[in-house]
A and B are shown apart, each in its own frame.
Chain A
Amino acid sequence: KNQVEQSPQSLIILEGKNCTLQCNYTVSPFSNLRWYKQDTGRGPVSLTIMTFSENTKSNGRYTATLDADTKQSSLHITASQLSDSASYICVVSSMTGGGNKLTFGTGTQLKVEL
């Protein structure tokens, strides 16, 4: 069964601190992995996309890593800001005959405080 598990479930950090979110998946066949940020009341917005051959990808203060052998990914947030408070969702894409199938993790709820 295709699954995406994320940890921690929730996290509270002080503004300016760094944090790392984890994602483990069992999706097969693997096409790509995205990290999405979902603000309250909004739809998910893509932060990074990583394919099988990519190990690291950065987008501003966000850096994602991927280990395709162990099927693990992480999202590192540097110098956190209050606006980083949101749900971060790991989504693994699998290409099948029916098209692009997305499997979502349950998300990590991040709160950045003063």
Chain B
Amino acid sequence: EAGVTQFPSHSVIEKGQTVTLRCDPISGHDNLYWYRRVMGKEIKFLLHFVKESKQDESGMPNNRFLAERTGGTYSTLKVQPAELEDSGVYFCASSGDTRNEAFFGQGTRLTVV
């Protein structure tokens, strides 16, 4: 069974550009989470989807970040326009039930220059 996959694995963009990260959860998992780790700091929660609905988006830093999960399958996280402080590793995780373990993808390393 395929795990959580994220694309791209690395992205380097200039300040002001747009970047879209993609996450494919484990098939059948209704819960999908986005997290990010900024250099030297802990991994922090961004938002939580249950199927296509945003259950909790309290961790989204500002309106430059837009997450979608059309059809309740894969999810995208768009950053527009990107700023230098957006650099970090963005992780996606999925779980079949909110009480169960969340399985993480390998992360997307975003570098804004």
Contact = CB atoms under 8 A, between A and B. Distances in A.
Contact of A102 (B45, B58, B106, B107): B45
Contacts of B42: 4, 89, 104-107
B101 A99 contact: no
B106 A41 contact: yes
Interface string B43-79: 1110010100001101000000000000000000000
Contacts of A101: 45, 56
Nearest to A34: B101
A31 B93 CA distance: 18
Residue picked from B33, B41, B43, most chain A C-beta under 10 Å: B43
Contact of B102 (A95, A102, A103): A102
Contacts, number: 55
10 contacts: A43-B93, A43-B106, A43-B107, A98-B55, A100-B31, A102-B35, A102-B45, A104-B43, A106-B41, A106-B42
B56 A99 contact: yes
A98 B48 CA distance: 9
A43 B31 contact: no
Interface in B86-113: 91, 93, 95, 98-99, 101-107
Interface residues of A, number: 22
Residue picked from A4, A42, A95, A104, most chain B C-beta under 10 Å: A104
Contacts of B4: 43
Contacts of B55: 98-99
A95 B56 contact: no
Given A4-B42, A95-B99, A43 B48 contact: no
Given A43-B4, A43-B91, A100 B107 contact: no
